């Protein structure tokens, strides 16, 4: 039994030594060649289990799958003497392992030889085109030409070239910055042009709108002036008709207005010429002119205390326009109209319907408007009122 057990162990040891030296396996992703004393004898491309002579034959395996031959980026010169940094790679597979082993032996050496060939052919093809053509137009053509040029040269090593591709084609670092600067300047120029065109269009639209608004305001002001003028003419016509019907009543009404203006308070002394007809409507039944305790000849009546008013003489001789101006200014200043002293009244011609006192943001018809500049005195200050010649429009620039 011990003998049998020892024999089994011996057989197992011999098998462990002899079998690996006799049998070998070729995977589906591999190619193999059998060498005897370093010399290749045959190639195996079909996966399976094979037999070789122990201790004499050796098996070399190669990758059956597609290989990538990646060339490092290189600075190449184009037809217009400009440089481009181009990164290229090739895809290929081993089709003849015996020829591959005889020529390059290892995949590392095959990669080195293939990269040299690809770089050389790429340099020659790049030199046939300009820089702009390589970047924009002829890249696909260059890759096809390099592939066709490389294919027969790699076949000499038992390698079939499948494709050659350019991963990138860039400007050198020294040139890239200036190119980017030019690109930025070009984009800025386009942006500035677009902004300028937009600003121009904006100005045109705004100018057109402002012009239309000015036309509308001018037409509205014109129509308003026409309507206002028609109304004033109608008022004057009605007033004239009424005056013609009863002149004495008109005189009575105007006298009452005068009384209201220069007799605002009690205790006022009036100094008038003896023949003044101002108080003709305030006569006593005996025919004496009395107003607020004052007789027409200037003597004091016994019924009222004496008070002086320096502006009364001027007020008595005022025109209707001046009287209206007095009332307008008294309302504006918030003082009795009798406290205002008429200084002067000048006939003028105003340049437009604003009477030379335009309000901000308003537009006025450019029509010569006759009127008066009437100046009053209140205390130590003087105030000027502008009015039309008929007193229909009154304003102040203050």
Residue 388 CA, chain-centre distance (Å), reads 50
Q: Which residues is 30 bridged to in the sheet?
A: 63
Strands (E), the chain: 23-26, 30-36, 39-44, 48-51, 57-63, 67-70, 74-77, 83-94, 159-170, 290-291, 294-295, 341-350, 369-378, 381-388, 394-395
First to last CA, the chain: 143
Model pLDDT, residue 213: 93
**Which of 317, 319, 314, 312 minimizes the C-alpha distance to 271?**
312
Model pLDDT, residue 17: 65
Model pLDDT, residue 218: 93
**Burial class of 170 by CB neighbour count within 10 A (0 to 12, 13 to 18, 19+):** middle
Q: Which residue has the tokens 């702009």?
A: 132
3-state secondary structure of 259: helix
Q: Which residues is 108 bridged to in the sheet?
A: none
Model pLDDT, residue 186: 92
Neighbouring residues of 243: CB distance < 8 A, sequence distance ≥ 6: 250
d(CA 94, CA 341): 123
Neighbouring residues of 266: CB distance < 8 A, sequence distance ≥ 6: 292, 304
Cβ 103 vs Cβ 158: under 8 Å:
yes
Q: Which strand (E) or helix (H) includes residue 213?
A: helix 173-245
d(CA 153, CA 147): 10
Model pLDDT, residue 204: 93
Q: Which DSSP string corresponds to 142-209? A: HHHHHHHHHHHHHHTTTEEEEEEEEEEEE--HHHHHHHHHHHHHHHHHHHHHHHHHHHHHHHHHHHHH
Model pLDDT, residue 313: 42
Tell me the CA distances in angstroms from 154 to 92, 126, 150, 151, 291, one per residue in order.
9, 20, 6, 5, 137
Cβ 78 vs Cβ 126: under 8 Å:
yes
One digit per residue, the tens of pLDDT, for the chain of length 398 reads 676 777 666 776 755 666 666 788 888 888 888 888 878 888 888 888 887 777 777 888 888 888 899 888 888 888 888 888 888 899 999 988 888 888 888 888 998 999 999 999 888 888 888 888 888 888 888 889 988 999 999 999 989 999 998 888 877 777 767 778 888 999 999 999 999 999 999 999 999 999 999 999 999 999 999 999 999 989 888 877 877 777 777 777 777 777 777 665 556 666 666 566 666 665 544 444 444 444 434 433 333 333 334 334 444 468 888 888 988 989 888 888 888 889 888 888 888 888 888 888 787 778 888 999 999 998 888 999 999 988 888 988 87
Query: Kindly report the CA angle at 76 between 72 and 82, in degrees rounded to 5?
Result: 145
CB contact burial 32-66 (16+ within 10 A = b; e otherwise) = bbbbeeeebeebbeeeeeeebeeeebeebbbebee
Tell me the CA distances in angstroms from 163 to 43, 97, 140, 157, 393, one per residue in order.
25, 20, 12, 16, 98
Model pLDDT, residue 309: 40
Tell me the CA distances in angstroms from 360 to 55, 353, 364, one per residue in order.
117, 14, 11
């Amino acid at each position: 039994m011990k003998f049998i057990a020892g024999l089994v162990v011996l057989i197992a040891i011999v098998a462990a030594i002899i079998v690996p030296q006799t049998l070998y396996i070729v995977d589906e992703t591999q190619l193999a060649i059998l060498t005897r004393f370093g010399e290749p004898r045959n190639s195996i491309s079909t996966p399976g289990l094979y037999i070789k002579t122990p201790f004499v034959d050796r098996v070399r395996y190669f990758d059956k799958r597609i290989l990538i031959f990646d060339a490092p980026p290189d600075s190449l010169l184009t037809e217009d003497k400009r440089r481009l940094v181009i990164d290229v790679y090739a895809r290929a597979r081993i089709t003849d392992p015996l020829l591959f082993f005889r020529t390059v032996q290892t995949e590392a050496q095959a990669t080195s030889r293939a990269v040299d060939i690809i770089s050389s052919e790429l340099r020659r093809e790049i030199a046939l085109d300009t820089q702009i053509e390589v970047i924009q137009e002829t890249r696909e053509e260059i890759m096809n030409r390099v592939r066709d040029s490389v294919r027969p040269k790699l076949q000499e090593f038992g390698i079939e070239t499948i494709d050659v591709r350019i991963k990138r084609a860039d400007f050198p670092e020294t040139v890239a910055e200036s190119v980017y600067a030019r690109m930025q300047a070009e984009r800025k120029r386009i942006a500035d042009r677009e902004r300028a065109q937009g600003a121009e269009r904006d100005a045109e639209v705004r100018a057109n709108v402002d012009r239309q608004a000015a036309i509308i305001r001018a037409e509205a002001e014109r129509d308003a002036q026409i309507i206002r003028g028609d109304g004033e003419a109608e008022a004057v016509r009605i007033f004239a008709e009424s005056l013609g019907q009863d002149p004495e009543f008109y005189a009575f009404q105007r006298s009452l207005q005068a009384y209201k203006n220069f007799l605002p308070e009690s205790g006022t002394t009036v100094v008038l010429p003896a023949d003044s007809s101002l108080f003709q409507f305030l006569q006593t039944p005996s025919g004496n002119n009395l107003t607020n305790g004052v007789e027409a000849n200037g003597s004091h009546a016994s019924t009222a205390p004496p008070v002086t008013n320096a502006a009364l003489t001027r007020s008595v001789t005022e025109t209707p326009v001046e009287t209206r101006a007095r009332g307008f200014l008294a309302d504006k200043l918030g003082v009795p109209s009798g406290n205002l002293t008429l200084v002067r009244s000048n006939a003028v011609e105003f340049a437009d319907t604003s009477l030379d006192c335009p309000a901000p943001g308003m537009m006025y018809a450019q029509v010569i408007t006759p009127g008066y500049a009437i100046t009053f005195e209140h205390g130590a200050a003087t105030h000027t009122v502008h009015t039309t010649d008929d007193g229909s429009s009154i304003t102040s620039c203050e």
